[in-house]
């Protein structure tokens, strides 16, 4: 595993940005594999997460209870600006080879938040592509493998369940062990990949 995860996060963000750029205006209200979110709501979530993650990367405390702001007509530009700010923040953060204390988790590798963000944008890029009929054949397989590696270690059963229970992930969907990386990633995240 590379000691600097930021280049891989940059690739995950570029990939997500390409999917967002491929969205059509009439697709905003389509459902996505991400539970009850429409394409519009998922894009707003992704853009909002960029700002929250940048706050965390610069040493601040994100306000996860704050409402997600709407995204304007320039969703591609808003996403790209947020992505650039996040990458710049992580580059300015310096060495990510040590450990940090994560609230509720104790000591974790310093790269833990970056790896989590790689997983976040890998899964949501797949969600948007799936919802809007975009191809995933050219998706970055290394991003998927890194995301799956992080999620396999970090996504404990307590995070799985129904939306009514306030859970972010549904049950893991069984797939073949030799299925393509994005199929395995989507299935592990509780999506129906087939």
What is the distance between the alpha carbons of residues 89 and 52, in angstroms, rounded to a whole number? 12
User: For the chain, which residues make up each domain, given as ranges?
Assistant: 6-140
pLDDT of residue 173: 94
> Among residues 158, 191, 159, which one has the least CA distance to residue 174?
191
pLDDT digits (tens, 9 = 90+) for 92-133: 998 898 888 877 778 888 899 999 999 999 999 999 999 999
Average pLDDT over the chain, rounded to whole? 92
- Sign of the CA dihedral 150, 152, 158, 161? positive
pLDDT of residue 35: 76
What is the distance between the alpha carbons of residues 20 and 18, in angstroms, rounded to a whole number? 5
pLDDT digits (tens, 9 = 90+) for 56-71: 999 888 898 899 999 9
- Model confidence, pTM: 0.94
What is the distance between the alpha carbons of residues 189 and 192, in angstroms, rounded to a whole number? 9
The CATH code of the domain at 6-140 is 1.20.120.450
pLDDT of 181 over the 90 cut = yes
Lowest-confidence pick of 8-12, 154-158, 186-190: 154-158
The proportion of the chain whose per-residue pLDDT surpasses 70, expressed as a percent, equals: 99
Report how far Cα 109 is from the mean position of its chain's Cα atoms: 19
pLDDT digits (tens, 9 = 90+) for 139-150: 999 999 999 999
Average confidence (pLDDT) over 177-184: 95
């Amino acid at each position: 595993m590379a000691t600097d995860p930021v280049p891989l996060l940059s690739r995950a963000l570029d990939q997500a940005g390409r999917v967002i750029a491929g969205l059509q205006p009439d697709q905003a209200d389509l459902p996505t594999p991400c539970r009850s979110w429409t394409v519009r709501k998922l894009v707003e979530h992704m853009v909002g997460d960029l700002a929250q993650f940048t706050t965390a990367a610069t040493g601040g405390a994100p306000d996860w209870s704050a409402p997600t702001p709407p995204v304007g007509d320039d969703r591609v530009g808003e996403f790209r600006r947020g992505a650039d700010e996040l990458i710049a923040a992580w580059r300015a953060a310096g060495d990510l080879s040590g450990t940090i204390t994560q609230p509720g988790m104790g000591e974790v590798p310093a790269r833990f938040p970056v790896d989590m963000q790689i997983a976040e944008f890998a899964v949501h890029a797949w969600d948007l592509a799936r919802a809007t009929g975009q191809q995933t054949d050219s998706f970055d397989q290394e991003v998927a493998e890194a995301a799956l590696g992080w999620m396999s270690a970090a996504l404990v059963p307590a995070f799985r369940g129904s939306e009514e229970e306030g859970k972010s992930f549904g049950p893991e969907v069984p797939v073949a062990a030799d299925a393509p990386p994005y199929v395995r990633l989507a299935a592990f995240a509780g999506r129906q990949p087939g």
